[in-house]
């Protein structure tokens, strides 16, 4: 997005609680990486990028006081440079202005509430009895289903769908292609056939939540699927029916969460993770990318169970050894029986 009018480093320092090292009159018109140019502002939080910092031609950098001496240009000093940079970037690069009103090609059905300052874009649908909050933005081809509720200042971007009866809180962002409130995967077996289980719950999303492109959040089977305030969901995540995700948890792309699992507050889940159904993940838990969670986790900390990539021949040797473990275990069992020793009870159980 194009930046707004430029601001001085002095103005930015005061507004965002930074210590300024440099020219308070220097104008900053936008943000960039460390490869940016004069008139732009970047940040450094990772010491591994110090070589890039030494070569930067930026107008200024947001950086920690500890690394300030290594910065060759003007600096805004802050203990959390990444978050400070994010706030400055939001100020300098705001979203496009809202175009209040209903586009002529949009459809607003009977009983829907659309405030005068809301924007309903081309070919969007606002269903019967739906309610939009003040200053909402409903993008082109987006769907707000019958009886759905969208909170004040929230944005549904192009082709996002919030289906019947679901609720989205205030100041949320739902990115293109996301689907909130599709049926959960509820099926009962009857011989060789499946009988669909009606999915009668909703999805309830708290305030200040961001949902990535093509992420899907299924409605509850009986109760509701709940996403609490401040949650961040990346692109292409699947959230099963009746899942609860606690406040300020962040989940990276391509993660799948099976039904009725509860994830606590302030958790971090790496991309490509699979989380089984009906589990409990406690507060302040970190799961590394590509993990496979098959049992509940209660203690705060970092969990990982993925094997890193290796050269192909070495990996084949590892797989061969894994395949021989059962035979080795049986051989050890026979030797222990012959010697009168026994394996510890339950040692073969999954943990």
Indicate which residues carry an active-site annotation. Answer: 241
Contact criterion met (CB below 8 Å) for 276 and 293: yes
Size (the chain), residues: 351
Tokens (6 digits) for 331: 């051989």
The three-state secondary structure class of 268 is strand
140 within 8 A of 124, measured Cβ to Cβ: yes
Q: E-assigned strands of 197-341?
A: 203-205, 210-211, 216-218, 225-227, 232-233, 238-239, 244-245, 250-251, 256-257, 262-263, 268-269, 274-275, 280-281, 285-287, 292-293, 301-303
Cβ neighbours for 320, distance < 8 A, ≥ 6 positions apart: none
Pair type for strands 285-287 and 131-132:
unpaired
Which residue in 82, 87, 83, 85 sits closest to 45, CA to CA?
A: 82
Residue 110 near residue 128 (C-beta atoms within 8 A)? yes
Distance CA 326, CA 340 (A): 21
The 3-class secondary structure across 270-285, one letter per residue, is CCCCEECCCCEECCCE
Q: How far apart are CA 67 and CA 261, in angstroms?
A: 42
Q: Do 149 and 169 contact (CB within 8 A), yes or no?
A: no
Which uninterrupted H or E stretch holds 267? none
Local structure of 92: helix, strand or coil: helix
Helix (H), strand (E) counts: the chain: 5, 38
């Amino acid at each position: 997005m194009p930046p707004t009018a430029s601001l001085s480093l002095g103005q930015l320092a005061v507004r965002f609680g930074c210590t300024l090292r440099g020219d308070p009159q220097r104008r900053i018109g936008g943000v960039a990486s460390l490869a940016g140019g004069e008139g732009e502002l970047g940040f450094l939080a990772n010491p591994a990028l110090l070589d890039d910092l030494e070569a930067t031609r930026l107008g200024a950098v947001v950086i920690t006081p500890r690394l300030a001496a290594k910065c060759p240009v003007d600096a805004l000093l802050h203990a959390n440079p990444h978050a400070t940079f994010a706030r400055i970037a939001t100020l300098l690069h705001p979203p496009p202005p809202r175009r209040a009103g209903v586009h002529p090609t949009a459809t607003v059905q009977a009983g829907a509430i659309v405030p005068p300052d809301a924007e309903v874009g081309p070919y969007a649908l606002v269903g019967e009895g739906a309610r939009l909050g003040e200053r909402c933005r409903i993008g082109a081809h987006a769907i707000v289903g019958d009886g759905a509720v969208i909170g004040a200042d929230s944005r549904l971007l192009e082709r996002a769908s919030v289906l019947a009866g679901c609720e989205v809180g205030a100041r949320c962002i739902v990115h293109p292609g996301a689907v909130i409130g599709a049926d959960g995967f509820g099926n009962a077996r009857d011989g060789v056939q499946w009988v669909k289980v009606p999915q009668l719950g909703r999805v309830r999303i708290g305030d200040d939540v961001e949902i990535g492109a093509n992420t899907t959040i299924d409605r509850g089977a009986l109760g509701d699927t709940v996403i609490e305030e401040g949650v961040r969901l990346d692109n292409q995540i699947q959230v099963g029916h009746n899942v609860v995700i606690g406040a300020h948890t962040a989940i990276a792309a391509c993660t799948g969460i099976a039904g009725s699992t509860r994830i606590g507050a302030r958790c971090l889940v790496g991309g490509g993770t699979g989380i089984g159904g009906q589990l409990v993940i406690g507060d302040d838990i970190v799961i590394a990318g590509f993990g496979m969670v098959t049992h509940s986790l209660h203690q705060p900390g970092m969990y990982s169970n993925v094997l890193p990539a290796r050269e192909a021949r070495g990996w084949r040797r590892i797989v061969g050894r894994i395949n021989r473990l059962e035979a080795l275990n049986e051989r050890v069992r026979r030797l222990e029986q012959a010697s009168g020793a026994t394996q510890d009870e339950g040692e073969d159980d999954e943990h």
